[in-house]
Amino acid sequence: MLDRGVRAGMSDASNVSKRMLSIGLAAIMVLSSIVVVLPVQAQQQQVTIRTSADDHGNRFFGPAWVEVVIDSAQHRNDSGTGTLQVNITAFGVSQTFPITETSNTSGLFVIYLKVDSDRTNVDEPATPANPFSNTNTRILIGNGNPHANYNNPATLDVTPQNIVNGGSITISVTGAPTKTLTYGDTDAAVQLDRTPAEYGPGSDLLLRIIDQDANLDPTASEFIQVTDASVIMSGGDAPAAGQQLRLRETGPNTATFEVDQINNAAAVLTVGTLPAGVTSTSRAITVNDFDLYSRANNTAPNAPSNPATGSRSVSYTVKVTRGEIQPFPTLSYASELPVRVIDLDQNTSSRSQQTISNALIIDGNNFNLREESLNSSTFVPAYSNNVIRLTFKENTDPARGILEVTPGNDITVQYDDPQEGTVTSERTFRLTNTPPTLTVDKSTVARSAILTLTLDDPDLNDDATIRESYTITFLAAQDTDFKEFKISGNPVFALRIRINGQTDAAGASNFSVTFTEENENSSKFIATVDLQQFATARVLNLTDGDSIDFTIQDRLDQTLSVRPEASATVTIGLPRPILTVDRTTVGVPRNSVADDGINIADGSSGGTTNNISNLGNAILYIRIEDSALNEDPRSQETLVPQITVSAGTQNNPDNVIDSSDNAGMGRLKLTFTKSDNSDLDNTQIRVSTAIRETGVDTGIFEGIIEVMFNPGDTPANWIGSRVKIEYAGPDGTFGTRDDADAVSVTFTARNAILQTDSTIIANGQSVTITVIDDDANRDSDAVEQVVVGLRWVNENGTTVDAPFTLDETGKNTGVFSKKLDVGKTVTGGQTVRVKADTDFRIRYYDLTPNLPGANNWPAASSSQTQFELTFRTTAITGSLVLDPAEKVGPASRVKVTILDSDMNTNPAQTQSIQGRVTVSSDRGAASRATLTVNETGPDTGIFEGKIKLNPDRVADASGDNTSEVTINVLPGDVLAVRYEDESGADGRRTFITKTLQVTSWDPEIKFDKDAYKPGDSIRVTIIDPDANRDPDGNDILTIKAISTTDPVGLTNVQAIETERSSGIFQATIPTSTGVATGALMVREGDEVTIEVRDDFPSDFRQRFDAFGTLDAAARRFQATVPIGVILAPTERFAVQQPRTVDQAGNPTTPSVNVLVSIATQIKNNTNKAMDYVYIVQVKDANGIVVSISTVSSTLDGGKTANVSASWLPTAPGTYTIETFVWSELGKPSPLSPLQKITVTVT
């Protein structure tokens, strides 16, 4: 039955027949080097056939049923109950059976096959016990009318003489590979439940017999039963002769049987005791192999029905071992105590984990052990996480697996072996104390600061599963010397706090410090100390310069005379604050509306252009680092609030702005002076963004101060003036040493610089305009803008003025720039299209020019503010582009493109160029025509036309003065295109000429793979430049695809050009193993041929001259690709290096007169089932062959199998074992390379 059971350790070697040969191989050991084509691994089939014999070497024998399940994707996807026509061929006789689908959408068809040569006498089981589906077809292979117990099966008539051991049965259905089964006996195998096979006295001995011959019903778990156990097994700890014995199959279709009853009582094999004084002995059980099993009735157990055909022995060792405690790793409270005891004879059953009570003795306390995992023989503490918990917090409690322990003491662990009745192993451990470390997050702090202490001490991590905490309290009446944390009377650690090197004698109230583990299973413990609360509790007046020392003393290890300590110290008092500003030079403040309402043509007022030079306040970004004002580490604090306006009206003189003018200024002061160091009075500022802490507990404050423009301000006042910014220290008094260093900012007015990257101004050209004006860089954290005025003469001769906005190239650069595309850019509602040979002016109005001492700022109309550049416009030379550019096929179209912005005289219309593009070939005047090119759209300046090439011997041209002309050509001709530009860059008439070579090519056909699997899609690429007929579209080639299986093939496959004008074409051709619309039918080993008709091969001209017609001049080209993978003969099978194993499959060293198996794993690298012979040859030290063995079978494609052959060494010495795989012995063909090893027989 399929997928109902898993084989229990069954070796694939049991699926093949083993025959010993005594023949010479020298005559046939010739390795072939012929390269052959083998099938590739098939993709998933539309129809699949699975059988219950698949996992058993495709073999069955005797009265066994075989379950066959056919899965059809087509029927699974329809809605009706389907029927499949399935052909069964048994022992040379074929018959087709209609098989009904199990349900209307299952896609499954179920068959049960059985061989019964004489169907008139039922061979039980008569029917499968638990069929895969009640809708199934039972087919009985044999002779005669079926017995009534068979319940009307379908029949396949085969004469009894033809039903032989080793005969084949095939199952065939359209769309699926044929399934082949062998009706033949299988050698039994024997396995034990342990590797190595070692047992203690009294242990359960789990013996498995793997025998497909006894697997009569793949749908049920079966029994083998005999009244005399010796019929099945004998020797060792097998049941005594005469005892009833039953074995149960481990699951449906496993073919693996285990002892489950002895004398009608549930039982397993039990390992007997050892004689007195014996600690180890070897035993063996021999299991008889039967080819045939039968049943008395349909529900009776299976019983061997013929004499044994062979036997298999399995050896094992019975020993008594002394349990041993394994070495301990480095231990800590977090690691706990991971005891591991290895004691083989306490592993009494591989099916359950054993428990040993009170076997572990620690300091007089008994702890329980349990087996770590099934059949491991390793025992661990029978508590959570397989450890004994180490702790200093609780008393020892064996019931809960808890051991109280402290560092510095030796702890002895003993194992009391139940088998020996005494302690057989002992180990000692000691927890080593780890000295603590203590750190604090700040070294200098304010009197009200909150400190974070970090204690790093792995020993405090007593329980890895929780976050732990430790609190030490200094009582009001006590001093601040060491105070202990204790648990259950055990000291853990102590904390001391000193102020200026002295402990505080007494306080007013209690003060506690709690260390909490950072996270579970961490060595770090965090505590916060509020200095203000500490000073209040201890009645302290902390002042700058005071030091506070925190000391941790480790007291867990009471054996130490000197206790480990760790300290951390902080000092009261803060560093000087730091004051910075973003710039030390800024543009002068200027009325922000002074550059609004400007006439961009001449700078006069009453215009519509605003903010031409970015006037406004001087913006300063202030940053203050002041730890003292970081008073609350849990919130963001504000140093200076937002202030709308503040002036120095409360000071004498009035050039100072501080807290006396606005209380919000706090400890900040600004002093303004002129360039001659005299006072700059009547200044005003505003705090537009509050000076606020950048984050929680940073002590860094940032904000924005703007120096404002006042009516009446003049260049004389501001140019060269300065503002000095000061910030008072913690004492709040300016001029003391705790102040921040003052910073000064100078106000300047710098003349702007106007420049361009080109002096050529022409339609179709680009020019980048740049203004460098540091005064316009008002805000260092923003990208700003200025405006220039453009003046030009358009095509109608009209002078146009328009603003053009430039963007700052980045924050704080003072450089403003933008590209102007002449002929395209629209600004101020005008397209900047120029008339050649006219002036083009760029003007920038700098309204903060450098005029020191001036009493007034000049207006925009003043020449003092105007910076300008004037250029003379020009025309540009047009350009000519051909597509294709250099070579072209004789029947293609050529696209002609003229780029000439001078000819784009009316941007509102689509225009044409006539009479100025000439096309001709080198055949003379008869092949000349004038091409009209049309603009691609309004205002593009791009003009296009086409040349159609016509393959003809007669020189001719047509379509004169149209947008597509036709020229007669043949390969070898030269095509010339000339454009006459009446006004080039120098203003004179210019001619531009380009040529094309008319050429023909043979196509190049490529595949994306060297070979394909059936069902793959074949991607074909054809490179043929002369098939690129139209440069504006993707051309199509029609190709043909045929295969060995499908010689008609696909005659109309379209290969599409990958890109316009590329000449590269691609097509994808699906393949299938059956008839499918649009797919090419293929089989393994086929050859697929792609055929392309090329109208213009490389020798087209010679063929055209010879045959006279285009059709006769064409040629067909082909390329082929295989279906399948090319493998060398010796690559068809892969063979691993052999190894020697005992009869239970365990690695072993060969000994004289002890049978060993030479085992390996092989893999069929092809995708089809292949017959093979596994050959094992053993040579002695002289190179003489002493043993030859073979294993013959069939292996499905892509599958692996474990195979082995037996060898009985007869003499000690060194031997070479060689293994290889051949197709057969009669007509040998090597399938794998040779593998060999050298072994020593003792």
Q: pLDDT band for position 808 (50/70/90)? A: very high
Q: For residues 434 and 456, is the Cβ–Cβ distance under 8 A?
A: no
In this prediction, residue 713 has a pLDDT band, given cuts at 50, 70 and 90, of confident
Alpha helices of 1002-1128 — where are they, by DSSP H? Answer: 1100-1107, 1110-1113
Q: Which band of pLDDT confidence, cut at 50, 70 and 90, is reported for residue 907?
A: confident
pLDDT digits (tens, 9 = 90+) for 625-669: 988 777 777 789 999 999 999 887 766 678 999 998 899 999 999
- Angle in degrees, CA 794, 796, 798, rounded to 5: 60
At residue 764, the pLDDT reads 83
Phi, psi torsion values for 21, nearest 5 degrees: -115, 150
pLDDT tens for each residue of 579-613 = 999 999 999 999 999 899 999 999 899 889 899 99
Choose from 31-40, 823-832, 1147-1156 the range with maximum mean pLDDT.
Answer: 823-832
pLDDT, tens digit, for every residue of 164-208? 999 999 999 998 999 999 999 999 999 999 989 999 999 999 999
Q: What is the pLDDT of residue 552?
A: 96
Across 930-949, average pLDDT = 91
The mean pLDDT of 513-519, rounded to a whole number, is 95
- Local confidence band at 483 (pLDDT 50, 70, 90 cut-offs): very high
User: What pLDDT is attached to residue 699?
Assistant: 87
Is the pLDDT at 1173 greater than 50, yes or no? yes
Q: Which of 718, 727, 721, 723 is nearest to 668 (CA)?
A: 727
- Sequence-distant (6+) residues with CB within 8 A of 710 are 682, 683, 684
Q: Is the pLDDT of residue 1189 over 90?
A: no
Q: Determine the pLDDT at residue 600.
A: 93
Q: For residue 574, what is the DSSP state? A: -
Provide DSSP, 632-646.
Answer: -TTS--EEE--EEEE
Q: What gap in Å lies between CA 902 and CA 885, rounded to an integer?
A: 24
Query: Is 1229 buried (19+), middle (13-18) or exposed (0-12) by CB count in 10 A?
Result: middle
pLDDT of residue 950: 92
Cβ-based neighbours of 1197, under 8 Å, separated by 6 or more: 39, 41, 42, 1164, 1166, 1167, 1168, 1169, 1170
- pLDDT tier at 928 (50, 70, 90 boundaries)? very high
Indicate the pLDDT class of residue 32, thresholds 50, 70 and 90.
very low
Question: Is it the case that residue 30 has pLDDT exceeding 50?
Answer: no
User: Pairing relation of β-strands 108-118 and 137-143?
Assistant: parallel
pLDDT for 49-93, tens place per residue? 999 999 999 999 999 999 999 999 888 878 889 999 999 999 999
Q: Is the pLDDT of residue 38 over 60?
A: no
State the CATH class of domain 437-572.
mainly beta
95-109, 277-291, 671-685, 1225-1239: least confidently modelled range: 1225-1239
* Amino acid in the structure at residue 778: R
pLDDT of residue 42: 35
Q: Do domains 1004-1127 and 1129-1241 have the same CATH topology?
A: yes
> Which pLDDT does position 796 carry in this prediction?
87
pLDDT at 738: 82
Query: What average pLDDT does this structure show over 282-303?
Result: 92
Predicted pLDDT of residue 1226: 65
Residues linked to residue 229 through DSSP beta bridges, in sequence order:
none
Q: How far apart are CA 752 and CA 767, in angstroms?
A: 19
**Residues sharing a CB contact under 8 Å with residue 643, sequence separation 6 or more, in sequence order:** 662, 664, 665, 685, 686, 687
- State how far the Cα of 1103 lies from the Cα of 1101, in Å rounded to an integer: 5
Using the predicted structure, report yes or no on whether residue 728 has a pLDDT greater than 60. yes
Res 1167 pLDDT > 60 = yes
pLDDT at 1228: 67
- 1129-1241: CATH topology is Immunoglobulin-like (2.60.40)
How confident is residue 8, by pLDDT bands cut at 50, 70 and 90?
Answer: very low
- Tell me what pLDDT residue 4 has: 36
Tell me, what DSSP letter sits at residue 988?
S
Residue 552 · residue 437 · CB < 8 Å: no
Residue 755 pLDDT > 70: yes
Helix (H) or strand (E) holding 76: helix 73-76
Report d(CA 910, CA 946) in Å as an integer. 17
Q: Examine the pLDDT at 765 and tell me if it is beyond 70.
A: yes
- pLDDT for residue 686: 94
- Strand runs (DSSP E) across 731-865, as ranges? 743-748, 753-756, 766-772, 785-793, 799-808, 815-821, 826-827, 830-831, 839-845
Question: How far lies 1030's CA from each of 921, 942, 951, 963, in Å?
Answer: 19, 19, 15, 15
pLDDT-derived band at 1154, boundaries 50, 70, 90? confident
d(CA 39, CA 1086) in angstroms, rounded, equals: 10
Q: Residue 833: pLDDT above 60?
A: yes
Tell me the β-bridge partners of 1082.
none
Q: Which amino acid is at 29?
A: M
Q: Between these two residues, 1066 and 729, which has the higher pLDDT value?
A: 1066
Parse the chain into domains and list their residue ranges: 44-183, 190-208+222-319, 324-430, 437-572, 578-589+615-748, 879-998, 1004-1127, 1129-1241
Beta bridge partners of 456: 437, 524
CATH topology of domain 1004-1127: Immunoglobulin-like (2.60.40)
Q: What pLDDT was estimated at residue 10? A: 31
pLDDT tens across 1078-1120, in order? 889 998 878 899 999 999 999 998 988 888 888 888 899 999 9
- Contact 321/348 with Cβ under 8 angstroms? no
Q: Is the whole-model pTM more than 0.75?
A: no
> What whole-number distance in Å separates Cα of residue 1091 and Cα of residue 417?
84
Asked if the model's pLDDT at residue 21 lies above 80, the reply is: no
Average pLDDT of the chain is: 89
Q: Which residue has the higher pLDDT, 762 or 216?
A: 216
Higher pLDDT, 7 or 393: 393
The fraction of the chain above a pLDDT of 70, given in percent, is: 95
**Which residue's structure tokens are 């309290």?**
473
Q: Which of 491, 413, 497, 411 is nearest to 459 (CA)?
A: 491
pLDDT on residue 5: 33
Amino acid at position 200, single letter: G
Distance (Å, rounded) from C-alpha 600 to C-alpha 344? 102
Q: In which band, very low, low, confident or very high, does the pLDDT at 11 lie, cut at 50, 70 and 90?
A: very low
pLDDT score of 29 more than 70: no
CA 945/CA 916 separation, integer angstroms: 12
Distance CA 249, CA 260 (A): 10
* Lowest mean pLDDT, pick from 53-57, 876-880, 969-973: 876-880
Encode pLDDT of 911-920 as tens digits: 999 999 999 9
Question: Residue 985: pLDDT band by 50, 70, 90 thresholds?
Answer: low
Coil, helix or strand for 693? strand
**DSSP of 850-887, one letter per residue?**
--TT-SSPPPTTSGGGEEEEEEEB-----EEEEESSSE
Burial class of residue 422 in the structure, from the number of CB atoms within 10 Å of its CB (0-12 exposed, 13-18 middle, 19+ buried)? exposed
Q: Given a cut of 50, is residue 3 above it in pLDDT?
A: no
Tokens encoding 486: 């204790």
For the chain, how are helix, strand and coil distributed in percent, rounded to 5?
A: 5, 45, 50
The domain 879-998: what is its CATH number? 2.60.40
The mean pLDDT value for 14-27 works out to 34
CA dihedral 227, 230, 231, 236 (to 10 degrees): 130
Q: Among 453-467, 599-613, 1139-1153, whose mean pLDDT is lowest? A: 1139-1153
Locus of tokens 């300590």: 565
- Stretch 732-743: mean pLDDT: 88
Identify the three-state secondary structure at position 1105.
helix
Q: Residues 1196-1223: pLDDT tens digits? A: 878 888 888 888 888 899 999 998 888 7
Which of 1204, 1217, 1190 has the alpha carbon at shortest distance from 1161?
1204
Angle at 627 (CA atoms; ends 626, 632), nearest 5 degrees = 120
Evaluate if residue 568 carries a pLDDT over 90.
yes
Three-class SS of 59-71: EECCCCEEEEEEE
The letter for the amino acid at 955 is A
What is residue 1147's DSSP assignment? B
* pLDDT for residue 20 is more than 60: no
Distance between CA atoms of residues 970 and 992, nearest Å? 25
